[in-house]
Amino acid sequence: MKTTKLSNGNWTIGGDGPLAVIAGLNVLEDVGLALEVGSELKRICSDLGLPYVFKASFDKANRSSITSYRGPGLDKGLGMLARVKSELGVPICTDVHEANQSERVAEIADLVQLPAFLCRQTDLVVAMAEATQAAGGLLHVKKAQFLAPRDVKNIISKVGEVAPDLGVIMCERGTSFGYNNLIVDMLGIGAMHDLDVPVTIDATHAVQLPGADPRTAGASTGGRREGVPIIAKSAVAAGADGVFLEFHTDPDAALCDAPSCLPLTGAADLLKTLKLIRELVTTG
């Protein structure tokens, strides 16, 4: 199985290595919260011997409502992420939504993330791939909710055409199933592995109920927080090389996707369990 790592060696995913962790906040709220969550997750991953990347979005562009909280924006958000990176000494993962953001984001982010809804946008894929390769990072690609696992070969091919030395990681995050629901086909993890890329599971977004939050009469996305550990454990058992998880000190008060994020107090127990599952899978 392929192993992919950052050029500075600070983070590795795949092969028979330990479970890689991409975790943090759904969206940046304030720098204090980001440092608190990142510091605790770094400590937990260090204790468990798991490679860790801090994740947070500076903008959530695909909101259900125009009034929904989107984040601090590009300038302020990248400043906050740079501070987390500097003070905690951890790699950073964040999203790009527009091609002209690619170079600036790649200067800060070690894992540059391509959102699921945008993963077939060729101009965006090309801009992100070129900028990320130039900066020495990795590209984390969310599989769209409407794509079959094997169809991501076309995304990987586009990246290879313009950035042949760039490491690509594919992320499973659920597939649309009728209205207001997502399912995860665990066989898809193996199908994407067959394309010679590491695979992560976004267990947080896989439990979303798109446009079905009863608190806002459908003006925001609902979720099933209790399902996150189930999806995460199942995916790691199916061979996922890494997990993508979102936490909050007060999940119900989170400004974005509150029904899907986990309490920070439960991170240690969940990651310990996921580590054990990964070890069972890789050692046979």
The domain segmentation of the chain, as residue ranges, is: 19-283
Tell me the Ramachandran region of residue 61: left when phi exceeds 0, alpha when psi lies from -120 to 50, beta otherwise: alpha
The pLDDT value recorded for residue 186 is: 96
Nearest partner of 198 among 128, 252, 258, 278, judged by Cα: 278
Return d(Cα 229, Cα 19) in angstroms, integer.
15
Return d(Cα 225, Cα 258) in angstroms, integer.
9
Spatial CB neighbours of 166, under 8 Å, sequence gap ≥ 6? 129, 132, 133, 138, 139, 159
Mean pLDDT by 10 residues, the chain (284 residues): 84 96 96 98 98 95 72 95 98 97 98 94 97 97 95 97 97 88 92 97 85 51 83 98 97 85 96 98 90
Sign of CA pseudo-dihedral 201, 6, 116, 95 = positive
Return d(Cα 256, Cα 248) in angstroms, integer.
11
Q: In a 10 Å sphere around its CB, with 0-12 CB exposed, 13-18 middle and 19+ buried, how is residue 199 labelled?
A: buried
According to CATH, what is the number of the domain 19-283?
3.20.20.70
Tell me the C-alpha to C-alpha distance, in Å, between residue 247 and each of 56, 164, 207, 223: 10, 34, 14, 14
The pLDDT value recorded for residue 256 is: 78
Residue position matching structure tokens 């990246």: 159
Return d(Cα 225, Cα 245) in angstroms, integer.
11
Catalytic residues: 26, 60, 257
The pLDDT value recorded for residue 64 is: 64
Pairing verdict, β 111-114 and 92-95: parallel
The pLDDT value recorded for residue 259 is: 82
